[in-house]
Structure 1
Amino acid sequence: MHPSVNRLLELLPPPQQGGAAVDWEHVEAEFGWRLPTDYRDFVTCYGVGAISDSLGISTPPFEGYPFVDHLLYNTPYPDPDNLLRWGANEGADDFYWRCNSDEPDDWTVAIHLRNHGWQDYPVSMVDFLIQLITRQIDPPLAARLCIDPPWFEPDV
């Protein structure tokens, strides 16, 4: 388990039924995307859903996936803008990886804020979530996370 995911598990209890069993080799073969280690471990523990009923996290499709749209739906590899959207909130802020490296574990977080343009964070997705939950960062999101205490609500 990625160390950042272990830390997140202390702060954000995973759903009782666990996360999603994604065939990561199949995802890479079908869509071309190799995804960060911390994200893959996040999906294994949490699955598809939302943090504090606000920040929705996307996943690739897996057996029993109930939606048409997913993390890699209509997303070419490589993306011409070097961006891959992994989350969104109800305030229309979108959360991306900046895919500026062939090594996914080097990707960092960028948020397109509905009212403030782009904001970059030089951390991984899970480290970003940890900093958000522990209030080490406070981006000007259009919708605030209710994080007292944070919870994860699975979509399936």
Structure 2
Amino acid sequence: MVQINVKPIVLRNVKVNIKSGATDVGDFEKALSQVELTPSSSTVSRKGLNPEAVFNFPGAETWVATLAYAQDWTAATSLSRYLFDNSGAEVVLTFLPNNGAAVSAANPAFRVTVTLQSGAVGGTVDSVAVGSVTLQCQGKPALITSLA
């Protein structure tokens, strides 16, 4: 068998951009502490009256984008404010896990349309107010090798 090498990534210098139609809303990685695109699927099962009559079928795959961020209500352009003001809107989210290198086959980015929702307001005494949202994705994220 062929030994497959692995090059794990560490999220240190990422880019997370949001576009609404042709409008570039901005890059939000300074506010974010987490961006994660996660798939899930269900299983459809059918059992007959014979022990050998068991059938399992994969369900349709769905994706969500989880964003964890520091709340900022002072800036009109903050992520907190953008989510609050645009709940329900569909936007394009682009995630580049390694912003220190050009987008390529060896350093891909991911792009997906998400539906925005408002995040938390407030938090715990003597700590940074944070929030987290889980945004529904419209289909599977596209793995892109060029930002052109």
Q: TM-score, normalised by structure 2?
A: 0.27
Higher fraction of strand = 2
Higher fraction of helix = 1
Larger radius of gyration: 2
Q: Which has the higher contact order (CA 8 A, sep 6+)?
A: 1
Q: TM-score, normalised by structure 1?
A: 0.26
